[in-house]
Structure 1
């Protein structure tokens, strides 16, 4: 439950919103962004892609289903701060093991409640995502100017590489469920548990690798495919990951990337990336699949995007053959997917694992599996012909 102490959210442009402390009391800084999901706040909080961001929930009532161990998407809460309008006074879900406030306090997540989140959202939509800070406790007494100076001195998201902060420190394996059909090397740039479970459920041994591994480390595993996960930060600051991907693509290993992995495929193909005004975050983002003409409602969390022509095909500037944009946003025509026509590689900007929903894009894991099995069949046939 929200505390009685006063708190203030201060944006980089000097806009201020006074409310009450929620979660831990103290001071925190991060990029202010909003998430439009009406449910799934636990998955949002524990999604490593939100590292470095102060997340505002546009749904007015948050916390009624509490928190549990089963729905954790990673080992901890990653948001830099949390903004809600009205915290639930009670926990009413039978699966709850504790309250949201309990976890925020235990993990030191500074938050604020009791402000007009609709007004903040409208302001960010107009002015763009920006640096921000939440002040409660002794720092609430600082002058407006002192608080604003601290916010403006904080590190912005552009040019920031956060992979090392969220990636697993040691490799580990999630075994295939049922009959094993192959293996996949997952570069953990901030991967969610639901993603790993979806891959394992399709008969793949999932080898999760720290973000600092080399292409040689990946190839020594002899995986059936490579997967780049979601993650926080600026794709323009991940040159080593781009070089790793290029080397593995040249080796003929199939590839699937989501979110950050889509942006890094774009860079590996020689395309540029850019920062969006306020990004796409939430579980109700409409995307058009150009191949089927079907509109998918998707879960998204990204502040950067790939630069590429929506229509037609084009040659990869980095020499990887023909490429097409496979999906795009129906809100603003942002690139939402890439498909390589001369390589076994594709990616999407959204989250097909989509906990806590929607599940419109879950078929992409099946497409990835089909790519792996087809590549295996072709390899086996070629070996027999060679004999």
Structure 2
């Protein structure tokens, strides 16, 4: 979208540099990335960034204005966790990069979550792009690495000893985001622990380190709670719904409260109209909408072309939304003259007792397929996968 920088990147690009990018990421983390790394960054204008930020500000204000009881309705009864908090520690918001009717490139809200994304990885990813392509430093994130680290440390570790803080996941070594876990451990000095390894005595939780049981006082939670029921024969000493002496970062209830559940409640020119399935009006056309289950993750269950036959078979219609389709615009030109579409996720943290979240980083996802999910791409496609956005004049 900025011809000057796009031209320079494409001229400098080579398969050797792409391999170097991946090798540095592996060297820094000790882990091979298990998701596809895009060959290219997303280079966007500062004017587009302003649209992103203005829309995010509006959405944040609208959410803050919602009654607490409205948000509580989003939590399934069997997923309620005690000791809820007044606000989440994380806030992420996804926008599609689209074209308006008058031909302007604009963001369109796709999804929002109060669940941590790849914060540690994306900072290292951005730095690595700049190492391989030094000119990108001119338009990189202005937040120094030490400030970024301090923000996350204050939020996740707080005043505790790092050994009493864990990153909690279910079978972390099998997760696609394992590279982020490794980089988080390096950044904060905390340990990644599988839920099956957590021990419980009374209301206290423990994990084992070097043969010693250590008390868990804060949990950087990466477990998607409602997915636990889908794992057969899962044995744990600790159930999320139990009352325990631990501080959640962020509390599991917020996974449901800040979710697709909110989309029908939000209004903005860059927020596509959405309805709960059971409230879909007769004057709207089903073919203009995408069907999404409220509590899916990574695009699972999304139906791009729902029919009345499909929606009629759904019994729990209150757990689905219909979101007006948006047209992703292919704006990122590759070295062959083909173009990729993309989404951008803004990664905020929300410090306790502070009125407003802080934007730390961004995450890009590039595709040449109908859905922004690398699993749907052709294997020989380029300029697809996980990326990072840079913003410059132009």
Q: TM-score, normalised by structure 1?
A: 0.29
Asked which structure has the greater RCO (Cα within 8 Å, sep 6+), the reply is: 2
Q: TM-score, normalised by structure 2?
A: 0.28
Which one has a larger percent strand, Structure 1 or Structure 2? 1
